[in-house]
Structure 1
Amino acid sequence: MSTTRILTLSLAVALIVGCQSNDELNTAYDRTEAYAEGVPGGAVAETDELLASVTAIDTAKRSFTLKDDHGNSRTFQAPAEMHNFEQLKVGDRVRAVVALERIVYLRQPGEEATDGAAGVLATAPLGSKPGMLVADTVEITAVIKAMDSKLRTATLQLPDGSERTVNVRPDVVMKTEYLGREVVLRMTSAFAVSVVPQ
């Protein structure tokens, strides 16, 4: 992942989780799970959305304060990647959304591995209100090294050689033929921040 995307994702975490003193900002959180009954793996999607108003701006420090609709406020530092900072005005409404998706499935025999990472960074055009979109997808392959049917866990060996034990859903039959099979772990994260037109 590039330095630019790391810095921008850091801003995403700061906007959603909070970074400098004051109160925690109120966000709307949603989580959805999807899986086929009896089939190992599944998908989990999570979103966290923040809607707040700009109440103060320090152009010299490139900082701004947001206040949510519940009266909580927090001050943030705008990274260099946040273009058009000078267009931000007190009273602007800011919307930030972080979306995370995790997909896990058994790789079919003969299916080609596509391990790796890809990402995109898009910023607002010069002269417009600040905004950006960052998205990254990482896919890795793990191998099922052990299963414990009493505890309903499976031990996965990751590409770096480390192992992680995970829980297995109650509806999945723990077949010995799964030992040695490859498990695909695909994680996608996206962050979008924009100034909402008034």
Structure 2
Amino acid sequence: MSFRRTPVIVAIGFAAACLPALAQQPAATMDVGAATAPGKAVAAQTIKTSAKIVSLDPATRTITLKRQDGKVSTVVASDELRNFDQLKVGDTVKAEYVQALALDLKKGGGGKAEVSSSEGMSRSQPGQKPGGMAARQVTVLADVVSVDAKKKTVTLKGPAGNMVDLTVDDPEQLKNIKKGDQVQALYTESLAIKVEPAAK
């Protein structure tokens, strides 16, 4: 299942431009976690990274960043970025990107397969250093149409009729899932950017 990037994530501008330039090993740290309980599973990933501003061009809104590994990247901040004039050479740009997926088995089904989403955003106030946060949640309720114990797969049918095969390695979890059940998936992503002034 893939999720396209929505305007709320792109709207921060600066964040969307900076993250790909920054989030590469060894300049970034990544934390990954997962947990399961009967009929439930959760997985999450967090990427944290930072870089120093080494040059600025206000005329073209170009920002040159030096990562922790010494590599230099150049990004152009969109007009959506507030307070560009508050950026200074030597400031540190910090980014945190989180993705999480929670699955919840609904025994016996009965609900209508559907998808819903919500999103929100906050940006720095005028006069502050640029930054902000954007978040999005997508909830999908899908029908279990088959369970293959030998292949350890569960086939789900989504609201648009699309079929997705999930691999379930835990035999206890797989035993608990039957045709006619439903699975609710909650996908969350968030991106936070803040700029810290250079140490004096």
Q: TM-score, normalised by structure 1?
A: 0.85
Corresponding residue for residue 32 of structure 2: 31
Which residue does 1:8 correspond to in 2?
11
- Once the two structures are TM-superposed, the CA of residue 16 in structure 1 deviates from its matched residue by 2.9
Amino acid at match of 2:106: R
Matched letter for residue 76 of structure 1: V
Offset at residue 172 of structure 1 (A): 2.6
Match of 1:116 in 2: 116
- Aligned residue in 2 for 1:184: 184
Aligned residue type for 2:45: E
Letter in 2 for 1:174: L
Letter aligned with residue 98 of structure 1: Y
TM-score under structure 2 normalisation? 0.85
Q: Contact between 2:146 and 2:178, CA under 8 Å: does it hold in 1?
A: no
- SS of alignment partner, residue 172 of structure 2: coil
Count of aligned positions? 193
Quote the offset at 1:132 in angstroms.
0.9
Unpaired stretches in structure 1, ≥5 consecutive residues = none
Residue of structure 2 equivalent to 1:166:
166
Among candidates 17, 21, 36, match of residue 18 of structure 1: 21
Mark the CA change 1:194 to 1:176 in structure 2 (over 3 Å): closer, same or farther.
closer
Divergent runs of 4+, >6 A: 110-114
Provide the rounded CA distance (Å) in 2 between the counterparts of 1:46 and 1:111. 32
The change in CA–CA distance for 1:129 and 1:137 in structure 2 (over 3 A counts) is same
The Cα of 1:171 is off from its aligned counterpart by: 3.6
CA distance in 1, matches of 2:67, 2:46: 18
* One-letter code aligned to 1:180: G
Name the Cα RMSD after superposition.
Answer: 2.7
1:158, distance to aligned residue in structure 2 (A): 1.1
- The 5 A counterparts of 1:33-182 are 33-36=34-37, 39-108=38-107, 115-175=115-175, 178-182=178-182
SS at structure 2 position matched to 1:128: coil
Q: Return the offset for 1:18.
A: 2.7
C-alpha deviation, 1:25, in angstroms? 7.2
Judge which range, 155-164 or 173-182, deviates more. Answer: 173-182
**Mean CA deviation greater in 117-126 or 60-69:** 60-69
- AA aligned opposite 2:65: L
Instruction: Write the letter of the residue equivalent to 1:32.
Output: G
Identity %: 28
Tell me the SS of whatever aligns to 1:126.
Answer: coil
Closer, same or farther: CA 9–87 of 1 in aligned 2, 3 Å: closer
**One-letter code of the match for 2:58?**
T
Structure 1 residues 189, 3: CA separation in 2 closer, same or farther (over 3 Å shift)? closer
